[in-house]
Chains A and B, each alone.
Chain A
């Protein structure tokens, strides 16, 4: 079945720098892609969703790139600030089902 690898597991950047998180998936038929943010002690907050016919999506300082040829999904936080410190997860749908397959998460620390 579908597998998702996420890297890096930990990422530290100074305030104002960009942070990039990458996920690699295996099923070329994957249709929907998501990025979630989890702050300490909280559930997952949806950041962005992308359908497979989109290569690039930008919203509020976040850029998601989808490279279907390499089966790679990335999240770029431009000009990160300390409030962005959290764990970030990518997730993809498995086939045509409702099931999401999650990456293992990236703990981002933004220092001021």
Chain B
């Protein structure tokens, strides 16, 4: 089996700040994903990447940048944190179009 690691687990930022979240997987999966989960809501796709250096926009890409530095890692940047924003950011990976495996999440709070 494999594991997905997300860092940091908790992230507190200031309004307007640029914040970076990191994800690592050792499944050797080709595709990686970033989702945003708001309280009491389902997941919305921000970005995904089907291979190293590839980037595809999801439904919620505005306000975010992403980077697939290598096959095992995928970073997400909040370009300008919004005041009072609170959400959980979940990273996932998969083989092609197969089931996705998720990391434990990064909990963002913006003061």
Chain A residues near B (Cβ < 8 Å): 4, 6, 9, 32, 34, 36, 41-46, 49, 89, 93, 96-100, 102-105
B43 touches A42 (CB 8 A): no
- Tell whether B50 is near chain A: CB-to-CB under 8 Å: yes
By Cβ-Cβ distance, the 4 closest A-B pairs, closest first, are A43-B102, A102-B42, A44-B102, A104-B42
> Which of B50, B99, B105 has the most CB atoms of chain A within a 10 A radius of its CB?
B99
Give me the interface of B with A, judged by CB distance under 8 Å. 4, 31, 33, 40-45, 48, 50, 58, 90, 92, 94, 96-97, 99-105
Partner of A42, one of B40, B45, B92, B104: B104
In the complex, residue of chain B having the shortest beta-carbon distance to the beta carbon of A4: B42
Interface of A, helix, strand, loop or mixed by DSSP: strand
Select A43's contact among B41, B48, B90, B97, beta carbons within 8 Å: B90
- The answer to whether A42 touches B105 (Cβ under 8 A) is yes
Chain A neighbourhood of B45, CB < 8 A: 99-100
What's the minimum C-beta distance from A8 to chain B, rounded to whole angstroms? 13
Structural contact, B101 and A102, CB atoms closer than 8 A: no
A98 neighbours in B (Cβ, 8 Å): 31, 33, 48, 50, 94, 96-97
Q: How far is the CA of A100 from the CA of B48 in the complex (A)?
A: 11
